[in-house]
Structure 1
Amino acid sequence: MSGEAKRSWIGALANGFFGGFEAGQASRRLRHFQPSRAHLNTLIAAAGADITARARWLVRNNGYAANAIESFAGNVVGDGIKPSALIADAGLKADVQRLWLDWTDEADAEGFTDFYGLQRRAAREVFMAGEVFFRFRPRRATDGLIVPLQLQMIPSEMLPLTRNEQIAGGNVIRQGIEFDRIGRRVAYHFLRRHPGDVTDPGLVGETVRVPASEVIHVIDPVDAGQLRGVSRFAPGIVKLFLLDQYDDAELDRKKVAAMHALFITTPAPAEPFDVAESDEAGERTMDLEPGQIVMLEPGEEIQTSAPADVGQTYEPFQYRTLLQVSAALGIPYAYLSNDMLKANYSNSRLALLEFRRRVGAWQHSVMVWQLCRRVWARWMDMAVLAGALDLPDYEARRRDYIACAWLPPKWDWVDPLKDARAEIEQIEAGLKSRTQALAERGYDAEQVDAEIAADRERERRLGLVFGTAQPASPIPAEPEDQPVPGAVEGPATPAED
Structure 2
Amino acid sequence: MARTNWRARVGAWVGGFGVPGGFDATSGQRRLKGFATSRAHVNALIAASGPEMNARARWLVRNNGYAANAIESWAANTVGDGIGPNSTLPQPLRKAAIQKLWLAWTDQADAEGLTDFYGLQRRAAREVFLTGEVFLRFRPRRPEDGLVVPLQLQMLPSEMLPLNRNTTAANGNVVRQGIEFDRVGRRTAYHFLRRHPGDSTDPGLSGEIVQVPASEVIHVIDPVEAGQLRGVSRFAPAIVKLFLLDQYDDAELDRKKVAAMYAMFVTSPAPDNPLAPTDEEYEIAPGQVLRLDPGEEVTVGQPADSGATYEPFQYRTLLQISAALGIPYGYLTNDGAKGNFSNSRLSLIEFRRRVSAWQHSVMVYQMCRPVWARFMDTAVLAGGLRLPGYDRQREDYLACTWLPTKWDWVDPLKDASAEIAQIEAGLKSRTQAIAERGYDAERVDAEIAAERARERLLGLDFRRPGSPAQAPGPGDPNAPDANASDPNALDPNQDPAPVQAP
Q: TM-score, normalised by structure 1?
A: 0.89
Could you say what secondary structure the match of 1:263 adopts? strand
- CA distance in 1 between counterparts of 2:424 and 2:481 reads 37
Distance 1:478 1:187, change over 3 A: closer
Distance 1:422 1:13, change over 3 A: same
- Letter of the 1:456 partner, please give it: R
2:275 pairs with 1:315: no
Could you say what secondary structure the match of 1:418 adopts? helix
**Residue 63 of structure 1 corresponds to which residue in structure 2?**
65
2:405 pairs with 1:409: yes
The structural deviation recorded for 1:411 is 0.3
Deviations 1:257-304 (A, max 9, x none): 3334322222335689xxx988xxxxx642223332222222222212
- CA distance in 2 between counterparts of 1:478 and 1:175 reads 67
**Residue 45 of structure 2 corresponds to which residue in structure 1?**
43
- CA distance in 1 between counterparts of 2:103 and 2:337 reads 42
2:372 pairs with 1:376: yes
Deviations 1:142-197 (A, max 9, x none): 11100100000001000000000122332100000000001000000000000000
The structural deviation recorded for 1:10 is 9.9
Partners of 2:18 and 2:26 within 8 A in 1: no
Partner residue of 1:236 out of 235, 238, 247? 238
The structural deviation recorded for 1:311 is 1.0
- CA distance in 1 between counterparts of 2:462 and 2:294 reads 89
**Residue 299 of structure 1 corresponds to which residue in structure 2?**
295
**Residue 352 of structure 2 corresponds to which residue in structure 1?**
356
**Residue 106 of structure 2 corresponds to which residue in structure 1?**
104
Partners of 1:277 and 1:286 within 8 A in 2: no
2:55 pairs with 1:53: yes
2:167 pairs with 1:171: no
- CA distance in 1 between counterparts of 2:450 and 2:349 reads 35
- CA distance in 2 between counterparts of 1:478 and 1:241 reads 69
2:299 pairs with 1:335: no
Partner residue of 2:260 out of 251, 258, 261? 258
**Residue 492 of structure 2 corresponds to which residue in structure 1?**
none
Could you say what secondary structure the match of 1:97 adopts? helix
RMSD: 2.4
Could you say what secondary structure the match of 1:83 adopts? strand
- Within a 5 Å distance, the mapping from 1:412-431 to structure 2 comes to 412-431=408-427
Distance 1:262 1:416, change over 3 A: same
The structural deviation recorded for 1:23 is 1.3
- CA distance in 2 between counterparts of 1:381 and 1:410 reads 29
Distance 1:105 1:270, change over 3 A: farther
Partners of 1:258 and 1:307 within 8 A in 2: no
- Letter of the 1:340 partner, please give it: G
Could you say what secondary structure the match of 2:82 adopts? coil
- Letter of the 1:91 partner, please give it: L
**Residue 197 of structure 1 corresponds to which residue in structure 2?**
199
Distance 1:388 1:307, change over 3 A: same
**Residue 146 of structure 2 corresponds to which residue in structure 1?**
144
- Letter of the 2:222 partner, please give it: D
Partners of 2:136 and 2:217 within 8 A in 1: yes
**Residue 492 of structure 1 corresponds to which residue in structure 2?**
none
- CA distance in 1 between counterparts of 2:433 and 2:18 reads 59
The structural deviation recorded for 1:30 is 1.5
Could you say what secondary structure the match of 1:312 adopts? helix
Could you say what secondary structure the match of 2:32 adopts? coil
Deviations 1:15-74 (A, max 9, x none): 776543221222221222120100000000000000000000000000000000000000
Could you say what secondary structure the match of 2:31 adopts? coil
- CA distance in 2 between counterparts of 1:277 and 1:205 reads 64
- CA distance in 1 between counterparts of 2:210 and 2:29 reads 52
Please list every run of 5 or more consecutive structure 2 residues that lacks an aligned counterpart in the other structure.
Answer: 1-6, 485-502
- CA distance in 2 between counterparts of 1:406 and 1:382 reads 20
- Within a 5 Å distance, the mapping from 1:127-138 to structure 2 comes to 127-138=129-140
**Residue 3 of structure 2 corresponds to which residue in structure 1?**
none
Could you say what secondary structure the match of 2:49 adopts? helix
2:320 pairs with 1:324: yes
- Letter of the 1:34 partner, please give it: A
- CA distance in 2 between counterparts of 1:201 and 1:446 reads 51
**Residue 433 of structure 1 corresponds to which residue in structure 2?**
429
Could you say what secondary structure the match of 1:200 adopts? coil
- CA distance in 2 between counterparts of 1:107 and 1:169 reads 34
- Letter of the 1:351 partner, please give it: S
Distance 1:338 1:200, change over 3 A: same
Could you say what secondary structure the match of 1:29 adopts? helix
Partner residue of 1:76 out of 75, 78, 96? 78
Partner residue of 1:367 out of 360, 363, 382? 363
- CA distance in 2 between counterparts of 1:166 and 1:384 reads 38
**Residue 220 of structure 2 corresponds to which residue in structure 1?**
218
- CA distance in 1 between counterparts of 2:483 and 2:153 reads 54
Partners of 2:16 and 2:28 within 8 A in 1: no
Could you say what secondary structure the match of 1:234 adopts? coil
The percent of aligned pairs where both chains have the same amino acid is 70
**Residue 181 of structure 1 corresponds to which residue in structure 2?**
183
Partner residue of 1:34 out of 18, 23, 36? 36
- Letter of the 1:36 partner, please give it: S
- Letter of the 1:150 partner, please give it: Q
- CA distance in 1 between counterparts of 2:295 and 2:404 reads 77
Deviations 1:426-483 (A, max 9, x none): 111111111111111111111111111111111111222213356525999999xxxx
Partners of 2:149 and 2:382 within 8 A in 1: yes
- Within a 5 Å distance, the mapping from 1:389-400 to structure 2 comes to 389-400=385-396
**Residue 493 of structure 2 corresponds to which residue in structure 1?**
none
Could you say what secondary structure the match of 2:232 adopts? coil
**Residue 89 of structure 1 corresponds to which residue in structure 2?**
91
Count residues with an aligned counterpart.
Answer: 466
Partners of 2:457 and 2:482 within 8 A in 1: no
**Residue 491 of structure 1 corresponds to which residue in structure 2?**
none
Distance 1:108 1:287, change over 3 A: same
Distance 1:40 1:16, change over 3 A: closer
- CA distance in 2 between counterparts of 1:11 and 1:103 reads 68
Partner residue of 1:287 out of 277, 283, 289? 283
- CA distance in 2 between counterparts of 1:228 and 1:16 reads 35
Please list every run of 5 or more consecutive structure 1 residues that lacks an aligned counterpart in the other structure.
Answer: 279-283, 480-497
- CA distance in 2 between counterparts of 1:302 and 1:18 reads 68
Could you say what secondary structure the match of 2:238 adopts? helix
**Residue 24 of structure 2 corresponds to which residue in structure 1?**
22
2:205 pairs with 1:209: no
- CA distance in 2 between counterparts of 1:430 and 1:402 reads 30
Partners of 1:14 and 1:20 within 8 A in 2: no
